[in-house]
Amino acid sequence: MAFDALKWLEGLKGSGIKPGLERMEKVMAGFSPNYRIIHVGGTNGKGSVCQFIGKILQEEGHRVGIYSSPHLERMNERISINGKEINDKELSQLAGVITAEDDGLTFFEATTAISLMYFNGRVDFAILEVGLGGRYDATNIINADITAITNISMDHEDYLGRSIKEIAAEKAGIIKGGNVVTACRGTSLDVIKNKARECNARLHVIGRDVTWNRISPGKFTVKSNEEYKIETDLDGLFQGDNIAIAVRSAELLGIGKKSIIRGIKKASLPGRMEKIGQFLLDGAHNPAAIKALKEAMKDYNYNRLFIIFGVMRDKDIASMIESLPKGYVIATSAGGGRAAEADTLADMLEKEGREYTKTEDVCHAIEEARKMAGDNDMICITGSLYLVGKARAMLKDV
């Protein structure tokens, strides 16, 4: 029977998280990228920054590879060039190459190795999104021209630490020199400053070196080396920091003002503040992201809000529930082995005094929400990108 490389890759999904770079160093031994790299880390906003920078570089005429995670519907989404996903044949060929050096690779390590190889000879720039933390993340075997660290808040505490200082130290592990752009503040910024100093990196801080102001939803002014009037289709006040990071990063790469403005306008990001009819899909999956979602909801007009909520059991679920916008909650399982059960979420919602019901899966949750919601009501699906991915596939098929 012929070896099925895609089946092998799919089979790695249950491999979990294994901190350390030794497996990546083995499989990528002798590899040398012939493209420039932008490395994007942080807790929230990484996907937006990747898309903003990617579209800006495309506007300037460059071929741009983006490696991001997680995927919403297909693993191919993780690896793209100028917005076009890697196809199954290419994915299979490269998966076949790395199996020869497989020494217990995780799914994320395998897809990272595939992306680095795939981009070689095909792109001018590669934008790599950190998967977890930074110091021991599979993407951290490269040296970047620009390192962007969006922000740092509590998430993945079992792996990264129980304090902002500890988490910041892990995420700052991607700094190796060059230019570092960050919107971090407070304790996390102090950690990044120290790491940048240690690595002789030049630090650019949003709020100090670059400032921004929101004129109205989707419209911002940014003052960096130049002043920009920017429009974006990505909703949320929090996009101000992400846009500012993208602007300064683009300036450091020598990109012109027109390309920066046009690129940000063209950027899109499925599953993040994405409207599909009366549904709003947002993969907020930690307390800080839920708070940002709650703030962003102020920009929408609706009568009642229904929230379909599913989350992974290793998250700070209590803090996420506490931060949810006001509305009727439909608790459900996000699906997969890590998902919290709907019964568990229901018990926590009860303790918080929230109005709620529970369903076994997102399909039933959507059916329930449609029965309850009127034409002028909004249905928000949040808590997990895995949940959002499943919901998005269903809503697109309707």
CATH code at position 206: 3.40.1190.10
- What pLDDT score does 10 carry? 85
- What pLDDT score does 2 carry? 45
66 and 210 in a common domain = yes
Number of domains the chain is built from: 2
282 and 201 in a common domain = no
Q: Model-level pTM?
A: 0.95
- What pLDDT score does 398 carry? 58
Report the share of the chain in percent with pLDDT over 70. 99
116 and 197 in a common domain = yes
254 and 238 in a common domain = yes
- What pLDDT score does 1 carry? 36
Last residue of a domain, one of 266, 283, 304: 266
- What pLDDT score does 158 carry? 79
60 and 147 in a common domain = yes
**Distance from C-alpha of 114 to C-alpha of 139, rounded to nearest angstrom:** 11
Last residue of a domain, one of 205, 235, 266: 266
CA nearest to 207, candidates 192, 227, 222, 191: 222
**pLDDT less than 50: residues of the chain:** 1-2
The tens digit of pLDDT for each residue in 169-199 reads: 999 999 999 999 999 999 999 999 999 999 9
Where does the chain show beta strands of DSSP type E?
A: 36-41, 64-67, 79-81, 84-85, 125-129, 146-149, 179-182, 202-205, 211-216, 219-223, 227-231, 274-276, 279-282, 305-309, 328-331, 356-358, 378-382
The tens digit of pLDDT for each residue in 71-118 reads: 999 999 999 999 999 999 999 999 989 987 777 899 999 999 999 999
Contact 359, 307 (CB under 8 A): no
Last residue of a domain, one of 237, 266, 295: 266
233 and 364 in a common domain = no
Domain that holds residue 89: 5-266
330 and 204 in a common domain = no
260 and 147 in a common domain = yes
286 and 260 in a common domain = no
